[in-house]
Amino acid sequence: MKLLEWVNIKPVESLKGKDLLTLFDYSTEEVKELLELAKNLKFLTKEGKCPPLLAGKTLGMIFEKHSTRTRISFEVGMQQLGGYGMFMHSRDLQIGRGESVYDTAHVLSGYLDGIMIRANSHQMVEELAEHAQVPVINGLTDLFHPCQALADMLTLQEVQGELAGKKLTYIGDGNNVAHSLAIAAAHLGMHIAIATPPGYEPVEWIAEKISKLAITNGGSLLITTDPVKAVEGADCIYTDVWTSMGQEEETQARLKAFQSFQVNDALVAHAKTDYAFLHCLPAHREEEVTASLIDGPNSYVFQQAENRLHAQKAVLASLL
C-alpha cells in the first residue's frame, strides 16, 4: 500500500451507527471487511500515517471490571484516529448508585458519539444498546468478547494467511472468550475444536448457532472433553485463564477440574509442528499454559495483544 492511499480507506459503510454486541450480529462479509480495514490501519499506523477518521468524536468508556488491554487500546485507538476516549468507572457514575440503564443511555447519548462498555452482564449491555442513540461496543461481558476475537483473527491471518479450512483449537473454560473466538472463526470457515472439562462447555444455544454458521462457511465445530482429540492436527491452539474475574470463589474447584487441560509440551505434540499459540492475556504461567510454550517460538500472544488496538480502530472507524 502506498502511504498516500490512506485517503481512500473507507470504513465498513454497512456498520455505520450500528452496535457491536456480538459477532453473530454481523455478516461474514462485514467481519472480513473489518479485518481488512484493521490490516490497512495497522500498516498506516506503523508508518505514522493513521488517518484522522474520528476527528472531533468522543467515545465514552464504561468499566465495571479492571482492564489493561481493553482500556488502553480503545483510548489509544481513539487518539490515533483523531478522537478522544473518556474513561469512566461505573462506581464513579450514577449508574453505580442505582440510576437506571434507561436513563444513563439517554443522558450519555447527548454527550458522546459512542459508548464502549466492559461489563458483568450481557443483558445489561443489551439494555444499554436498546436505549442509547449512539453505537454501543461490547468490551467484554459474561457471554461475549467480540473485540478480542477480531484481534485474534487478525493475528492468525498475519501468521498463517488464509484461514478457511484450518483448524483452531481452544482448550479450557467454555467462556466469553471461547464463544466469540469460535464465532469469528466460524465466519472465516475454520474447523473449530473446543475441549473443556465436563460442566464447563460453551453455552448450548451459542454453540448451536456457531455450528450452523461454521457449516454455512465450510467449517465445523467439535466440542469435546478430550484435549488430545481437540489438538490433533491443529493449526492454532488457544487458551485462557481457568478462573476469570468474578469467579475467585471457584478457584480451588476449577484448579482441580482443569488440571488435565494445561497446554504443555505433551499436548501440543499432537498439533501441527508450525502451530500458532494464542492467549488473550492476562496469563497464569504454569497453570493453564507452561512458560516454555507461552514464551516460546510458536507463541504470538504479544502480537495478538497489540492487534487489539488495530482491530478496534476498524470497529471505531466503521461504527462512529
Catalytic annotation, residues: 118, 145, 148, 240, 280, 308
68 in a known ligand binding site: yes
According to DSSP, the residues that pair with 60 across neighbouring strands are 86, 115
- H-helix or E-strand containing 87? strand 84-89
180 in a known ligand binding site: no
DSSP string for residues in 26-80: S-HHHHHHHHHHHHHHHHHHHTT----TTTT-EEEEEESS--SHHHHHHHHHHHH
* Contact in structure between 131 and 105 (CB atoms under 8 Å): yes
All three cell numbers of 137: 461496543
94 in a known ligand binding site: yes
Let me know if 192 is exposed, middle or buried by CB neighbors in 10 A (0-12, 13-18, 19+). Answer: buried
The CA distance from 62 to 292, in Å, is 36
211 in a known ligand binding site: no
All three cell numbers of 267: 499436548
135 in a known ligand binding site: no
What single-letter DSSP state applies at residue 278? E
91 in a known ligand binding site: no
240 in a known ligand binding site: yes
106 in a known ligand binding site: no
146 in a known ligand binding site: yes
Q: How many CB atoms lie within 10 A of CB 102?
A: 13
67 in a known ligand binding site: yes
298 in a known ligand binding site: no
118 in a known ligand binding site: yes
Indicate the annotated binding residues: 67-70, 94, 118, 145-148, 176, 240, 244-245, 280-281, 308
Indicate the annotated binding residues for L-ornithine: 176, 240, 244-245
Indicate the annotated binding residues for carbamoyl phosphate: 67-70, 94, 118, 145-148, 280-281, 308
